[in-house]
Structure 1
Amino acid sequence: MTFSFIDTVPVTTGTVSVAFTDASLDLGDLAPEDVRAAGLAEIASVTGATPYLMHQVHGATVREVTDAEGFPDADGLVTRATGVALLTRAADCVPVLLAAETGEIGAAHAGREGVRRGVVTATVERLQALGARGLRAWVGPHICGGCYEVPEELREDIAAAVPATRATTTWGTPSLDLGAGVLAQLAGSGIPVVEAGGCTREDLTLHSYRRDGAAAGRLAGVVWRTP
């Protein structure tokens, strides 16, 4: 199965679809070129749109896509265009997809630094600057706070910026709940959310860096608009 989750919503100028891939595809930068190309070809076939990737750098830069060219350094993408599928890739980080009633779409990659720096909020604001109204979000599979163990100093550093991220593992050690941080940021922006997936470390049908190390692939959140 290609998708672990898929949803479709009507907008004023067509239909927006969102989906999250499972471990049957590997769309990571380190995947063999033929494996990644096959995954992108499958997404293009399913969506009828041209997949658009970003080179994710754990920051808060958001780029607007006006065509299907390039591979920008960014952790957020937005567009008004149809025929383009925006992808955010992850293997424990939080993939977030956004769609507006007015037709604009966005995708964000929120790791530790992305949550700290507010990449999801920045993506929302960029969409609003494009005229997006009636935004909603889908938060995809990511590692849960019960599994994401970190040193206490790191937990406190991130939690100082985003208090909702402070967590404890199921075995009692310091951890981060990046998903809770993203949900708090979306709530602060007044964006309703669909939670579309469980813990990547616990679910063997999903990619997880914490579980599989360097061998881990990358799942993708995909959002696209059709006329």
Structure 2
Amino acid sequence: MRIRRVVTTRAGGRSKPPYDSFNLGGGVGDDPDAVAANRHRLATELGLEPDRLVWMEQVHGRNAEIVDGPRASAVEATDAIVTTEPNLALVALCADCVPVLLADPRAGVVGAAHAGRVGARVGVLPAAVRAMTEAGASVDRIEVLLGPSVCGECYEVPAAMQADVEAHLPGSACKTRKGTPGLDLRAGLWRQLADAGVAKIGLDPRCTVEDKTLFSHRREGATGRLAALTWLDPEGDSAGPISHGAS
């Protein structure tokens, strides 16, 4: 079973500034018709029907849900979704938060999670791993990709907030390039996964604030959302991450 992983950029879509141009997020103020056109283009370029993309109503929580087929609308109040259904792409939307893609190729289980500061703090990733195991995955076989997000050198927070997150997500506290208190969520999530027994963890090193080909709420305020997707492709062996701009 081949595992497909895709991370989009902001290039090649229909959205106008400040959402230019391949914004895939609804509810951020963009023209709904442009978002719909961008989502349709994404599905088409990936060789999937539009209804085979499963979206989440992301709320910065820790709810994880197993899905077994297409959804007419976004999965409500959920920040992690898991499936064993082939050619059903799970989507996490981000613009500084960490998109996380999980897979157990042998069991045929994939998952996608949205891990921002709040969600990472309250345990969205452990919830996603539990849902993976409930669907048949084995923790020691799970492979994880931590997608592009704001890096620790750019993520300045108050000292009290840093201490609170570090208490719940050890390894996330850091200093920014200015020497002020910061958070490196990917470092904390990496440690959390490793402590849980996940051995294969990959990292997309891009910082959304520094890389202007990606959307960043911290850099721009009103902006679009990139998508990180994963799905089971029954045609072949497991494959690693793919960066896709739909341009």
User: Normalized against structure 1, the TM-score is what?
Assistant: 0.90
Q: Could you say which residue in structure 2 is the equivalent of 1:121?
A: 126
Amino acid at match of 1:194: G
Matched, 1:52 2:46: no
Using the aligned pairs only, state the percent identity.
40
Structure 2 residue 79 is the aligned partner of structure 1 residue 75: yes
Distance (whole Å) between structure 2 residues aligned to residue 35 and residue 65 of structure 1: 27
Confirm or deny that 1:178 pairs with 2:182.
no
Instruction: Return 5+ residue gaps in structure 2 as ranges.
Output: 12-21, 235-247
Q: Tell me by how many angstroms 1:206 deviates.
A: 0.5
Deviations 1:42-78 (A, max 9, x none): 2211223311100100010001111111312100000
Paired residues for 1:89-108 under 5 Å: 89-101=93-105, 102-108=107-113
Distance of 1:105 and 1:16 partners within structure 2: 8
Deviations 1:107-146 (A, max 9, x none): 0000111111111111011111111132100110000000
Q: Give how far 1:197 is off.
A: 3.7
Contact kept in structure 1, 2:66 and 2:135, CA below 8 Å: no
Query: In 2, Cα distance between the equivalents of 1:149 and 1:179?
Result: 15
**5+ unaligned residues in a row in structure 1: which ranges?**
1-13
Given that residues 47 and 224 in structure 1 are in contact (C-alpha distance below 8 angstroms), is that contact kept between their aligned partners in structure 2? no
Measure the CA separation in 2 of the matches of 1:150 and 1:196. 23
Q: Are 1:204 and 2:201 counterparts?
A: no
| Structure with bigger RCO (C-alpha 8 Å, 6+ apart) | 2
Q: Whole-Å Cα distance in 2 between the matches of residues 177 and 104 of structure 1? A: 28
Q: 1:225 to 1:46 in 2, by over 3 A?
A: farther
Q: Equivalent residue of 1:95, what SS?
A: strand
Q: Which 4+ runs in 1 deviate beyond 2 A?
A: 46-49
Q: Does the 8 Å CA contact 2:104/2:137 hold for their aligned counterparts? A: yes
Contact 1:43 1:51 in 2 (8 A): no
Alpha-carbon offset, residue 39 of structure 1: 2.1
RMSD, aligned α-carbons? 1.2
Residue type at the aligned position of 1:44: A
Residue type of the alignment partner of 2:114: H
1:140-190 superposed Cα distances (whole Å, 9 cap, x missing partner): 000000000111111111111112111111011111111111111111122
Contact 1:98 1:137 in 2 (8 A): yes
Change (3 A) 1:197 1:46: farther
- Between Structure 1 and Structure 2, which shows a larger proportion of strand residues? 1
Distance in structure 2 (CA, Å) of the matches to 1:43 and 1:86: 13
Partner of 1:83, secondary structure, is coil
What is the one-letter code of the residue matched to 1:40? R
Between the aligned partners of 2:210 and 2:95, the Cα distance in structure 1 is 12
State the AA in 2 paired with 1:119.
Answer: V
- What is the letter of the counterpart of residue 33 of structure 1? P
**Contact 1:47 / 1:85 at 8 angstroms: preserved in 2?**
no
**Partners of 1:39 and 1:121 in 2: CA distance:** 31
1:141 is aligned to 148
Aligned residue number for residue 64 of structure 2: 62
Specify the code of the residue in structure 1 equivalent to 2:25. G
Contact 1:116–1:162 (CA<8 Å) still a contact in 2? yes
